[in-house]
Structure 1
């Protein structure tokens, strides 16, 4: 397995750096709910984060990397109250929008991380911890010269797999054909993971159809899903 301290590749981040201003509503909910729901990566103490203590209960934890405006996160959390949903995003506006949905729907099973998920996984999540990792529509860096900046590369997938518990799942979705092929190749080559299907996964009915995905369909791009399970080590 690729050593996890080698996962940071030059120019590779779990996000694209953009400046997004918060609305009045997002700012309000940030000020009223962030101390309860959120953590900034830079403020976390060194070492493994106690996820059970943060959520206030012991339950399966699913990490969503790049939750955007939180549209899918909120719907998934509402549909699965028995699961702890952790949304990692670098843009305050997106986290603010998600907190508005948490407030509106009175969700108690959502927590928010402000910061880069790569560093969070490497430095603050213990191996064999997460029940699931979701990466929906990461930036495709569609220009060929920028492909090296894509998130889903072999070292990153090895890191994610190491943090999944045996039987945990990695769920990927993208609307860019060449990125889908690259995701499938990289994940299939990772020895800790096995594809749940012989190729592409059928689009799960439980994955919310977001505005982003609807726009991809309207522009003629086919969305692909991939579902991988972490294998149980021999001898268990």
Structure 2
């Protein structure tokens, strides 16, 4: 029987930038879909992945570029990627399966619901949030993900030495992040492209760069000393994201 060679995936790209990795022989494919979340309660990462390892969450993962890239470069780390759109999760799952990325799982879920119902306190090493929907119509501002309440859920989910990454190409959204996040995170702005992905970590980032849009990036770790009552007090003192998003 002729040996099956990896398939060239040069045609699998975002605006001309290839999705990393090759399609492996089918015998090496993974099964990475979480087709149905269990009853409410903390996910058992060790049972899901069959090992104990740091866990990265990619919230609103889109077509999966960041998670696929990170999983290929960091096989020692497990990744859970979510999006509310079943179609994009199907495409991302297929790509991960064909690349043999056993250290990834893909699930249709909202970011808020995942953190609220399924993530145990201080159980996640990294949370990545790339280009959350800004909802330009101010009547829909209540749908914006980044709120003080949501940030307390992110804080609660991360390990004390964990990492939060946020990126957007919407200036008013970024200004809101810069105003609110330093209250509970040691927050830093990433002035230039991410060194690991100079062409872009996500499809949206590549699109924005191609169209000359500014991109705003930041990262931080939880500040010490915030228990549940302190987080609730902080959240109640912060403004909601009711800004207009017309400016960039």
| TM-score normalised according to structure 1 size | 0.76
Please state how far the C-alpha of 1:228 moved relative to its aligned partner. Answer: 1.2
Counterparts of 1:211 and 1:117, CA distance in 2? 19
Distance 1:109 1:206 in 2: 19
Query: 8 Å contact 1:69–1:93 — kept in the other structure?
Result: no
Structural mapping, 1:82-231, within 5 Å: 82-189=76-183, 191=184, 193-195=185-187, 197=188, 199-207=189-197, 209=200, 210-231=202-223
Deviation readout 1:159-198 (Å, 9 max, x if unpaired): 1111101010110000011111111212122x3x211x3x
Larger mean CA deviation between 95-104 and 59-68 belongs to 95-104
Question: What is the deviation of 1:233?
Answer: 4.0
Kindly provide the CA deviation profile for residues 197-228 of structure 1, in whole angstroms up to 9, marking residues without a partner as x: 3x455432124613322221233320111101
1:57 corresponds to: 51
Structure with the largest fraction of helix: 1
**For residue 40 of structure 1, what is the aligned residue in structure 2?**
36
Determine the C-alpha separation between the residues in 2 that align with 1:150 and 1:201: 24
Higher Cα Rg, which structure: 2
Q: Is the 8 A contact 2:78 2:103 kept in 1?
A: yes
Query: Secondary structure, in 3 states, of the residue corresponding to 1:37?
Result: coil
Unpaired stretches in structure 1, ≥5 consecutive residues: 1-31
RMSD after superposition: 2.2
Please say if residues 186 and 220 of structure 2, whose CA atoms lie closer than 8 Å, have aligned partners that are also in contact.
yes
